Amino acid sequence: DAMVIQNPRYQVTQFGKPVTLSCSQTLNHNVMYWYQQKSSQAPKLLFHYYDKDFNNEADTPDNFQSRRPNTSFCFLDIRSPGLGDAAMYLCATSPPRMTKPQHFGDGTRLSIL
Amino acid sequence: DAKTTQPNSMESNEEEPVHLPCNHSTISGTDYIHWYRQLPSQGPEYVIHGLTSNVNNRMASLAIAEDRKSSTLILHRATLRDAAVYYCAQGIKAAGYKLTFGGGTRVLVKP
């Protein structure tokens, strides 16, 4: 089945130690998204790529960066994680048209020690 | 900024219908209304979406108000597997499109 895969499912890092989360897709979708979801809250969009075009949300901290080396892969880099960055990070993909839904991975739960 | 509001929680009995409301008073004419649901430790799962007309699929129905400032997701016969958090979201055109989620409604289904 075509899908969105996030690795790892659980990630533990130390305060201030850079961490990278990965996402891959077999759907061949143009658009890839990264969301942050804190406990008991809704997903919040951090940024998205339309092909190689990077689109940052205005309130996304500079501490969060992303790379998309090809259509299938996208990475979320947190340069200096703080305790407030502990959350579930969700990757999603979609075609560019709003008439098509987004497809989500099962997320990476990030813990900060 | 898009603002979408939902009740925090709703309860239903098994095999009864569930009506989940969503207010999206700032919606623009080209924004779609999407619904997703999320089980614990899983990513959101697409349920249904629409623009102006009511929509039906195998999972649910979506009723959209004439002024588009509100919508209702209808689960026709709730099962225990329908217990989840249901999110209403506005699909906003932006280099493709992006979703702005409401706070979600936790649905409890009682046997």
> A52 to chain B: nearest residue by CA?
B95
Q: Are B69 and B22 in contact (CB under 8 A)?
A: no
Show the low-confidence residues of chain B (pLDDT under 70). Answer: 1-2
Closest residue of A to B43, CA-based?
A106
Spatial distance between the Cα atoms of B68 and B91, rounded to a whole number of angstroms: 13
Residue of B30, B25, B17, B1 whose CA lies nearest to B79 = B17
Q: Look at A5-9, A95-99, B94-98, B103-107 and tell me which has the smallest mean pLDDT.
A: B94-98
Closest CB to A42 among B42, B91, B104 = B104
User: Can you read off the two tokens belonging to residue B31?
Assistant: 């924004």
Which residues of chain B make contact with A34, given a CB cutoff of 8 A? none
Q: What is the C-alpha to C-alpha distance for residues B42 and B27, in angstroms, rounded to an integer?
A: 28
Contacts B97 to A, Cβ<8 Å: 31, 94, 96-98
State residue B1's pLDDT score: 67
Give residue A1's pLDDT band: very low, low, confident or very high (50, 70, 90).
low
- List all residues of chain B from 37 to 76 with a beta carbon under 8 Å from chain A: 41-46, 49
**Is it the case that residue A112 has pLDDT exceeding 80?**
yes
CB A77 within 8 A of CB A64: yes
Closest CA–CA distance from residue B101 to any residue of chain A (Å) = 6
pLDDT tens profile A27-44: 999 999 999 999 999 999
pLDDT band at A10 (very low <50, low <70, confident <90, very high): very high
The per-residue pLDDT for range A50-91, each reduced to its tens digit, is: 999 999 999 999 999 999 999 999 999 999 999 999 999 999
Count A/B contacts: CB-CB distance under 8 Å: 70
State how far the Cα of A67 lies from the Cα of B58, in Å rounded to an integer: 37
